[in-house]
Chain A
């Protein structure tokens, strides 16, 4: 027995499998390109050679697309291209910040709930169920109306409405991780509660939360557009795709392009986030290798 060699040949390094799978997925790559495009123009808005999004021009009212105004002008002569680009900021910001609110509040509540169980879990879970009982958009509208119309309040309202999903998800994932052998072996080396949550639970529940967050950004962008359409989000004259649609609905016959561009933009950015989210889900799914 003692003649058996205890030396092993080193294994070759492996590339990150999830990233490789994601790159091999054309739909996800299309999604990435779409999302990256909108993020770029939103960031670059102040330095792009475009008109002011709020400058009116009474000689250029409801003009169709032309060399001067590539996407046309709206009912008070503002350049639609400029309003689209600045509106992307409102949409993306609302999408990202409201989901960040949902994650930052929802994940800790869910992890605590799944980790402690007992009455803490019962309290948090019943409250989550109460929030989930109301449809997402209705809840967001109610909260936004309660907080008062502004983009910031819309983001808070959307974030709070999206939070229950993250509580549920992280609670279930935490309970799942707690049954793993490596948690038992963590107990066996005397790991404390804080280290167990930070270094064992959170990193292992991260992938499904990332997927859910990406998909939730798409939903949040639609929610922001809906709230702005209803006048509960971005306030005039600041541009947002939702509020542009709201105005455009009065001129569908005379100036259909006013509704067309924001509609297409919302469609594309939501499609982009959904494709990325689906791609991430497939790439991070351990069952399917």
Chain B
């Protein structure tokens, strides 16, 4: 195997002045051209992880409490603001959740795309504009020559998201972080955008970290999956491994709470209880209070261990060693 493009080790994020970490001991790796989906419910720390990688954490009040994120051999977490702003939009790009508000309403679409080309490549106005047009064509915006000179309010939500993708890809980044890129769009547009992202990713060989709570999106896009719960990675492996043989009780709960169509579809399964607030987070396994398979040793934090062909953070894993008592 070649070198990973991004290697995150023990990333921890906390609110300044508090002890408990919002994101705790998160580790994962992304190979060049690979797609990693980080899944979890709202508040599990997946967006914080993405923002930390982009150097966009709102600090204060948030701060990095520890860990490393090696991107092409360079630790992202140790970069200065100036170093980060040279990297962002060039080798490292981000796609946001809200295409409605993530484009500058006072700047024409073409200029917004050209801006980052000019900044990072030192391209002339004319060359940057040509690149912007090329990008709009790539993301299949109809009548790109016209759209180039339009303002964001003249575009629909789906087209704005395409424009955002064009902005992110304009400098051929090695890695794109996409934070719920389809959540704000309706279902048919979601499908189009996912289709587009997959195609562009395959064409350019760009690695992708996709943050989502939608297991359907994961199934569409992922090579690898990291399931997060309450700030920790609870299970990680290839998409087939995690979906085919989930080892962590939370992942099992997530899978079974997916709505299904057809004759077998009964009541929707839910996971009982709620994520504990950060102030009352148990020191051991953070899922223990909701877990049907709880053991006395869940008082201690479970390490991420080999469970079958992938890894899970559960004292019960691997599951075939499970003596079912409940």
Contacts and interface: CB of A to CB of B under 8 A. Distances in A.
Nearest to A207: B106
Interface stretch (A9-17, A105-113, A164-172): A9-17
A189 B54 CA distance: 10
Interface in A176-224: 180-182, 184-192, 195, 199-200, 203-204, 206
Contact of B105 (A4, A8, A182, A185): A182
Interface of B is mostly: helix
Contacts of A1: 191, 194-195, 220
Interface stretch (B88-96, B237-245, B260-268, B310-318): B88-96
Given A6-B140, A8-B142, A184-B56, A190 B104 contact: no
A5 interface: yes
Interface string A96-132: 0000000000000000000000000000000000000
A200 B107 contact: yes
Interface in B108-124: 111, 115-116, 119-120
Contact size range, A: 20 to 34
B85 A185 contact: no
B115 A188 contact: no
A151 to B, nearest CB: 36
A66 interface: no
A4 B195 CA distance: 8
A7 interface: yes
Given A6-B192, A14-B154, A180-B101, A189 B106 contact: no
Contacts of B191: 1, 4
B47 to A, nearest CB: 12
Given A13-B154, A203-B107, A188 B88 contact: yes
A195 B89 CA distance: 14
B107 A199 contact: yes
A59 interface: no
Nearest to B100: A181
Of the listed residues A5, A14, A181, A200, the one surrounded by the most CB atoms of chain B closer than 10 A to its CB is A181
Contact of B116 (A10, A180, A181, A190): A190
A185 B119 contact: no
A192 B96 contact: no
Interface residues of B, number: 46
Tell which of B84, B85, B196 has the most Cβ of chain A within 10 Å: B85
B101 A192 contact: no
Contact of A181 (B96, B143, B167, B195): B96
Interface string A143-155: 0000000000000
A190 B88 contact: yes
Contacts of A206: 106
Contacts of A188: 54, 56, 88-89, 93-94, 96, 168
B18 interface: no
B116 A189 contact: yes
Interface string B75-105: 0000000001111111001101010011111
Interface in A1-31: 1-2, 4-11, 13-14
Contact of A185 (B86, B94, B153, B154): B94
B249 interface: no
A13 B143 CA distance: 12
Nearest to A202: B106
B307 interface: no
B325 interface: no
A120 B84 CA distance: 25
A1, A204, A206 interface centre (most CB from chain B within 10 Å):
A1
Contacts of B94: 185, 188
B203 to A, nearest CB: 14
Contacts of B104: 182, 186, 199-200, 203-204
B188 interface: yes
Interface string B112-148: 0001100110000000000000000000111100100
5 contacts: A4-B191, A8-B158, A14-B153, A185-B96, A189-B115
Interface of B: 54, 56, 84-90, 93-94, 96, 98, 101-107, 111, 115-116, 119-120, 140-143, 146, 153-156, 158-159, 164, 167-168, 188, 191-192, 194-196, 220
Given A5-B192, A8-B141, 19 more contacts: A1-B194, A2-B195, A7-B140, A8-B158, A182-B103, A184-B102, A185-B96, A187-B56, A187-B85, A188-B168, A190-B84, A190-B85, A190-B90, A191-B85, A191-B116, A191-B119, A199-B115, A203-B107, A204-B106
